[in-house]
Amino acid sequence: MKAPTLCALKRLLLLLLQWTIAIGTLTGQIRSGKDLPMYRLSFMRGEFLPINTPFFNTPNDEGEIFRYTNSYIIEYGWQTNGDDAWHAANNFPKYGIGLHYLRVLRRQELGNPMALYAFVEGNLLRWRFLQLNTYASLGMATGMKYYDPRATLPNDIFATPVNVFSEVGGGLAFRLEKHLWLEPSVRLTHISNGNTREPQKGVNVFGYRLGLRWVTGEEYFAKRNPAELNNADIQKNELYGFLGISTRQVEFSASNNYWPPETYGWNFPMVNVFAAYNRVLNRRFKCGAGLDFFYDGTNGIKTAVLEGRVDKNAVPFRDKLGTSVFLTGENSINRLSIYMGLGYIVLRKQFFKSTPRLEQRLGVKYHLNEHLFVGLNVRAYHFSSAKALELNIGYRKFWGK
Residue 13: the pLDDT is 45
Q: Residues of the chain with pLDDT > 90: what percent?
A: 61
Over range 37-53, report the average pLDDT: 95
Residue 253: the pLDDT is 62
**pLDDT for 74 beyond 50:** yes
Single out the residue of 88, 93, 90, 74 nearest to residue 36, CA to CA.
Answer: 93
Residue 154: the pLDDT is 84
237 by DSSP, 3-state: which?
strand
Same domain, 89 and 160: yes
pLDDT in tens, 223-279: 766 665 666 577 889 999 999 999 998 877 654 445 677 787 889 999 999 999 999
Single out the residue of 255, 246, 245 nearest to residue 199, CA to CA.
Answer: 255
Same domain, 44 and 186: yes
The letter for the amino acid at 221 is F
Over range 34-63, report the average pLDDT: 92
Single out the residue of 44, 144, 17, 21 nearest to residue 100, CA to CA.
Answer: 44
Same domain, 288 and 183: no
Over range 30-42, report the average pLDDT: 77
Single out the residue of 133, 219, 129, 130 nearest to residue 168, CA to CA.
Answer: 133
DSSP 266-328: --EEEEEEEEEEEEE-SSSEEEEEEEEEEEETTTTHHHHHHTT---TT-S-GGGGEEEEEEEE
For residues 269 and 297, is the Cβ–Cβ distance under 8 A?
yes
284 vs 30: CA distance, rounded Å = 28
Compute the mean pLDDT over every residue in the chain, rounded to the nearest whole number.
87
Same domain, 79 and 205: yes
Same domain, 135 and 260: no
Single out the residue of 113, 201, 209 nearest to residue 161, CA to CA.
Answer: 113
CB atoms inside a 10 Å sphere around CB 116: 13
Q: Is the residue at 358 inside a domain? A: yes
Distance from the Cα of residue 31 to its chain's centroid: 28
DSSP 257-283: S---GGGTT--EEEEEEEEEEEEE-SS
pLDDT in tens, 164-211: 999 999 999 999 999 999 999 999 999 999 888 888 889 999 999 999
Q: Is the residue at 75 inside a domain? A: yes
Alpha helices (runs of H) in 124-238, residue ranges in sequence order? 226-229
Same domain, 80 and 115: yes
Same domain, 299 and 195: no
For residues 367 and 238, is the Cβ–Cβ distance under 8 A?
no
Residue 232: the pLDDT is 58
**pLDDT for 29 beyond 50:** no
Same domain, 324 and 354: yes
**pLDDT for 95 beyond 60:** yes
The tally of CA atoms less than 13 A away on the side-chain side of residue 102 is 34
Going by the DSSP 8-state scheme, the letter that residue 211 receives in this structure is E
Q: Is the residue at 225 inside a domain? A: no
* Omega before residue 93 within 30° of 0, cis: no
Q: What is the count of structural domains for the chain?
A: 2
Same domain, 191 and 307: no
Over range 40-68, report the average pLDDT: 92
CATH number at residue 376: 2.40.160.20
The tally of CA atoms less than 13 A away on the side-chain side of residue 81 is 17
Q: Is the residue at 103 inside a domain? A: yes
pLDDT in tens, 269-308: 999 999 999 999 888 889 999 999 999 999 999 889 888 8
**pLDDT for 91 beyond 60:** yes
User: What residues contact residue 54 under an 8 Å CB cut-off, 6+ apart?
Assistant: 153, 255
Q: Where are the beta strands (DSSP E) in 303-399?
A: 321-333, 336-348, 358-367, 372-381, 385-399
pLDDT in tens, 362-373: 999 999 999 999
Same domain, 200 and 253: no
**pLDDT for 345 beyond 90:** yes
Residue 147: pLDDT band with limits 50, 70, 90: confident
383 vs 368: CA distance, rounded Å = 30
Backbone angles phi, psi at 26, to 5 degrees: -70, -45
CB atoms inside a 10 Å sphere around CB 63: 7
Backbone angles phi, psi at 108, to 5 degrees: -115, -5
182 vs 174: CA distance, rounded Å = 5
Q: Is the residue at 26 inside a domain? A: yes
For residues 297 and 315, is the Cβ–Cβ distance under 8 A?
no
Q: Is the residue at 222 inside a domain? A: no
Single out the residue of 141, 130, 198, 131 nearest to residue 167, CA to CA.
Answer: 141
Instruction: Give the H or E element holding residue 7.
Output: helix 6-30
Instruction: Give the H or E element holding residue 164.
Output: strand 162-175
Residue 382: the pLDDT is 87
For residues 299 and 276, is the Cβ–Cβ distance under 8 A?
no
What are the Cα distances from residue 112, in Å, to 59, 108, 144, 187, 195? 18, 8, 6, 18, 20
Over range 111-122, report the average pLDDT: 95
Among candidate residues 167, 182, 215, the one where a domain is terminated: 215
Single out the residue of 124, 117, 80, 81 nearest to residue 100, CA to CA.
Answer: 117
**pLDDT for 212 beyond 90:** yes
Single out the residue of 219, 203, 285 nearest to residue 37, CA to CA.
Answer: 219
Check residues 11 and 227 and name the one with the higher pLDDT: 227
Domain that holds residue 51: 6-215
